[in-house]
Amino acid sequence: MTAASSTPSGATAGSATPPHERARPLAKGSVYPAKDLCSQCGLCDSRWVAYVRRACAFLSQNFEAMEATAHGRSRRLDDEDELYFGVQQRMLSARLQQPIAGAQWTGIVSRIGVRALETGLVDAVLCVGQSPDDRFTPVPVLARTPEQVLAARVNKPTLSPNLEVLEQLPGSGIQRLLAIGVGCQIQALRAVQSTLPLEQLYVLGLPCVDNVSREGLQTFLESASRSPETVVHYEFMQDFRIHFRHSDGSEETVPFFGLDTPKLKDVFAPSCLSCFDYTNAGADLVVGYMGASFGRQWITVRNPRGQVLLDLVEPELDTAPVTSRGDRRAAVQQGIDAYDKALKLPRWLAELVGFLVQRVGPQGLEYGRFSIDSHFTRNALWLRRHHPEMAERHIPAFARRIVERYRLPSP
């Protein structure tokens, strides 16, 4: 994305000083260029705001160019795995043989960060710590030690301004960086990569959907958990249930189908309701869970740099091939209609539907496709209703192919 318009040092052809050296971060609290669609990725909180018009995932996005620059080619749309999960040279499921206590899943992401520092592959790891006052308020950091990486383990399931730390790079001595982040953060990072004062950049991506502001998270917890104040960890899991862990160590599970859809329809950030980068197309390596069987993590290696990252931990992993079972399509179509009508099932019925779907519903990669289909159709409809002027140019070709497989309510 940037290569065509910038020299390697970031100077735009014909100008003496690169734009970011003349720019200043925007004032916190001001209206950012993407307005209501801003995901607060942090780019505008750094001098690299200079490139926001072409870097912001919600102002302009170009998956084909980003994939071609990052991986050497864009995804093959006639290959179902690439259509759904992006450019890849390898997919597998895994878990750390010795899970890291307190990690989101088994801690593969944190372990890669630790090993990247211990082996000298990088000088720093961009990761997300937490506020001392609030477990769910994200604090992006450039971790220089394994202890700092480990302290940043576990999701802060709220919009996080990861790229604000770019501001700390000049003069820091950091020349090789591992950046961990979600799709919108990585799209912007890739767009400014050639202008950063770095020799090497490795990108470890997390899949991401349905993120929320801190206030939105509170609404979600209060509507879904029996004890919102004591939740320390939660995850939407492959058994179609949300698993909440409480501060006393107890676990609570709630069926997806029992969520209060009328109340939660507006809780997700508008950026996330207009996002099609669920599987983090620009990352070298992606570590999530949704393409793996219950309890395991799902790994996609997009390019040789991603394999370098995986090599750091592969001897410590219990790995298995990805599998796929079931047929998602009828369930996705029913979900589109139910969501649009904002139906809320009584708890007993939600439990029954959850029980049945868990036994006969989609699993492994088919669960991943179920989740992608459900979110892409919902987001395409949301965009057509709320931002019709940008909907068609904003929905990437791969997402359009997926959305066209379903019958959507009229905008």
Ligand X SMILES: Cc1cc2nc3c(=O)[nH]c(=O)nc-3n(C[C@H](O)[C@H](O)[C@H](O)COP(=O)(O)OP(=O)(O)OC[C@H]3O[C@@H](n4cnc5c(N)ncnc54)[C@H](O)[C@@H]3O)c2cc1C
By the criterion CB under 6 A, which residues form the site for ligand X? 103-110, 127-128, 138, 152-158, 160, 162, 180-182, 206-209, 211, 235, 287-290, 297
The answer to whether 394 and 387 are in contact (CB under 8 A) is yes
Which two tokens mark 211? Answer: 């993120």
d(CA 215, CA 212): 8
* Minimum gap (Å) between residue 93 Cβ and ligand X: 11
Instruction: Name which of 19 and 146 has its Cβ closer to ligand X.
Output: 146
The answer to whether 339 and 261 are in contact (CB under 8 A) is yes
Which residues, in sequence order, are CB contacts of 82 under 8 Å at separation 6+? 75, 76, 88
d(CA 211, CA 48): 24
Instruction: Name which of 243 and 386 has its Cβ closer to ligand X.
Output: 243
Instruction: Name which of 50 and 287 has its Cβ closer to ligand X.
Output: 287
Instruction: Name which of 18 and 165 has its Cβ closer to ligand X.
Output: 165
Instruction: Name which of 160 and 195 has its Cβ closer to ligand X.
Output: 160
Q: What is the DSSP string of 46-114?
A: SGGGGGHHHH-TTT---HHHHHHHHHSS---TTSHHHHHH-S-SEEEEEEESSPPTTSSSS-HHHHHHH
d(CA 49, CA 133): 29
CA angle 145, 150, 156 (to 5 degrees): 125
Query: 3-class DSSP state for residue 133?
Result: coil
* Minimum gap (Å) between residue 389 Cβ and ligand X: 28
* Minimum gap (Å) between residue 372 Cβ and ligand X: 10
Instruction: Name which of 108 and 312 has its Cβ closer to ligand X.
Output: 108
Instruction: Name which of 135 and 341 has its Cβ closer to ligand X.
Output: 135
The answer to whether 87 and 73 are in contact (CB under 8 A) is yes
* Minimum gap (Å) between residue 355 Cβ and ligand X: 22
Residue nearest to ligand X (CB): 288
Q: What share of the chain is helix, strand, coil (3-state, %, to 5)?
A: 40, 20, 40
